[in-house]
């Protein structure tokens, strides 16, 4: 049985004080949640304070991206050791906004994934196709390249325990357009079949694959009821405790 994982990606939203408030609201809202793994990803600036707020609760900390180098002249970036020190449980890697606006490639995703896993932190690896890729019939090819690229050199043990995939069709992110339950399930099942090709049946069955793209309380139950959908990576609906909790309730 795969445990559901619901993760709120706060992107470039919330000041430090607003982040502390939202984290406290979420801690209170989910205190009785037992079955679902709950994760929040504030900005770098707020992450250390949010880590203090969630300490001892059932909410885990994710960081939105790292650089793969240990240190040095990389203005604007943070290293894995910096986020490890504040207690990051997960790092989100390869988000489509990183790919679209900040030159993220399958190669840099792979460097970041390996760096994160070597530090003993788990990864949420984002993959997904644009509308044009879907409409021109190259969806499977695109996902295959993204997955094989991201996981190159990742051990079976890490793949089994420390990797979560997030399937996020780019056309559904922040647009209010959600993939239908069937559309999402078809792709999740395909992704699982690719994992089976790479790592075999057991790891394919163990690996969690989140859906992301305008997930909210109203559509979460249908998506989460699908056999191969194991949670959600949430943008907009993760910015308020009640809308985030509504999705967690659907998972519980």
Instruction: Tell whether residue 215 is a contact of ligand PEP (CB under 6 A).
Output: yes
Q: What's the closest the beta carbon of residue 176 comes to ligand PEP, in angstroms?
A: 8
Buried-exposed string 126-143: b where 16+ CB fall within 10 A, e elsewhere: bbbbbeebbeeeebeebb
232: annotated binding-site residue?
Answer: no
162 CB-near residues (< 8 Å, 6+ apart): 117, 121, 122, 123
238: annotated binding-site residue?
Answer: no
* Residue selected from 29, 195, 234, 241 as contacting ligand PEP according to rule CB under 6 A: 234
* Residue selected from 4, 5, 6, 9 as contacting ligand PEP according to rule CB under 6 A: 9
Q: What's the closest the beta carbon of residue 201 comes to ligand PEP, in angstroms?
A: 29
Closer residue to ligand PEP, CB minimum distance, 18 or 160: 18
9: annotated binding-site residue?
Answer: yes
174: annotated binding-site residue?
Answer: yes
Cβ pair 179, 188 in contact under 8 A:
no
Report the distance separating Cα 20 and Cα 24, nearest Å.
6
Number of residues that bind ligand PEP (CB under 6 A): 13
* Residue selected from 47, 164, 233, 251 as contacting ligand PEP according to rule CB under 6 A: 233
SS (H, E, C) 44-66: HHHHHHHHHHHCCCCEEEEEECC
71 CB-near residues (< 8 Å, 6+ apart): 79, 81
User: Where is the binding site for substrate, in residues?
Assistant: 9-11, 174, 214, 235-236
Chain positions contacting ligand PEP, by CB under 6 A = 9, 168, 173-174, 212-215, 233-237
């Amino acid at each position: 049985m795969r445990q559901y994982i619901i993760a709120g990606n706060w992107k470039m939203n919330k000041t430090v004080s607003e982040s502390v408030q939202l984290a406290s609201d979420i801690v209170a809202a989910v205190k009785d949640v037992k079955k679902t793994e709950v994760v929040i990803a504030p900005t770098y600036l707020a992450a250390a304070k949010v880590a203090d707020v969630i300490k001892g609760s059932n909410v885990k900390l994710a960081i939105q991206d790292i650089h793969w180098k240990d240190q040095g002249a990389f203005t604007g970036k943070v290293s894995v050791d910096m986020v490890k020190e504040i207690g990051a449980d997960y790092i989100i890697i390869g988000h489509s906004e990183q790919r679209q606006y900040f030159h993220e490639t399958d190669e840099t995703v792979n460097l970041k994934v390996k760096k994160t896993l070597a530090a003993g932190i788990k990864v949420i690896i984002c993959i997904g196709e644009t509308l044009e890729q879907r409409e021109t019939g190259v969806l499977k090819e695109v996902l295959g390249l993204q997955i094989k690229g991201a996981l190159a050199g990742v051990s079976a043990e890490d793949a089994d325990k420390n990797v979560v995939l997030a399937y996020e069709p780019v056309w559904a992110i922040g647009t209010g357009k959600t993939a239908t339950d069937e559309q999402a399930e078809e792709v999740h099942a395909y992704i699982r079949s690719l994992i089976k090709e790479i790592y075999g049946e057991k790891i394919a069955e163990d690996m969690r694959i989140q859906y992301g793209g305008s997930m909210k309380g109203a559509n979460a139950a249908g998506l989460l009821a699908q056999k191969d959908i194991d949670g959600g990576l949430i943008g907009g609906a993760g910015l308020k405790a009640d809308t985030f909790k509504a999705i967690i309730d659907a998972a519980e």
